[in-house]
Amino acid sequence: MRSAILVSFFLALLCPAIPAQQPGPPESPPLSVQQPAPPETEKIEVAPAPSPAGPGAEGFMEPAQVKAILQRLWLAEYRLNDLLSQVRPERWKLGDATRNSFQQTFDALRSQLQALEGWRGQLDARPDSMYLGYMLHASIDALLPRLDAVTRMISTHENTSLGAQFSQAGNQLFDLQQELQPYLVYLLRNQDQVLQATQTNLAACQNELSYAMRGRTERAKPMKNIRPDFKGRRKPKPLEAGKENTAPVGGAAVKKP
């Protein structure tokens, strides 16, 4: 008993007292994980559609001015058709090949005059049409070289006075074409500006939509492989009893046993 007390006494001297564990501050509850805020939608300025240029713009014409030019063009066409009716190529001393070539050019000139009048009438009804204005301009371009060829033949084989009148009619057509050309450039420029603004606004809308939909679409899910069931597949008909199988095998018909 005495020995046990001594051992306890010596252990108390050798081992320092263990301090009592003090209670720590209360643990704070775990913070909730904050979800990242969705990206803000990038705001892209949309370019306003340009309004058609009005009076004062380069090449601008009022409809009444366009119609006045077209009326003068009709008078030039009428004068040219009257001059064509005065040509008598059958009286000329020409070879068959030259006569046939001139006749083809002469007939083509008449056809082009009819086409020119058709485009002129349509543009007179719709003076703001870029397409009709272009076709009228192209018709005069196609007509002038043939008119020049006919004029030279008439000056050589008919008389120089009639040839000079043809030349004057051709110059008048060319002058009217040049007078109308700035207006056609004006129409083309306005259409180009409208197209450019439309393309810019479309690109801006696509970018804005892509930013708005970012992070909101679900991921693609893999699909399970499914064996396709093709409908309408032909199935071999079972042979009736007593009939022979005539399907060729190796080039010879085999009878059903």
pLDDT mean across residues, the chain: 78
The DSSP line for 28-80 is PPPPPPPPPPPPPPPP-PPPPPPPPP-TTSTT---HHHHHHHHHHHHHHHHHH
pTM of the model: 0.59
> Is 84 inside any structural domain?
yes
> Is 203 inside any structural domain?
no
> Is 249 inside any structural domain?
no
Average pLDDT for 71-99 = 93
Structural domain containing residue 168: 63-181
> Is 253 inside any structural domain?
no
Q: pLDDT (tens digit, 9 = 90+) per residue, 142-186?
A: 999 999 999 999 999 988 999 999 999 999 999 999 999 999 999
> Is 53 inside any structural domain?
no
> Is 104 inside any structural domain?
yes
pLDDT at 208: 78
CATH number for the domain that contains residue 147 = 1.20.120.230
> Is 112 inside any structural domain?
yes
Q: Say how many domains are in the chain.
A: 1
Instruction: Assign 138 a pLDDT band (cuts: 50, 70, 90).
Output: very high
> Is 162 inside any structural domain?
yes
- List CB contacts of 139: < 8 A, sequence separation 6 or more: 112, 115, 116, 119
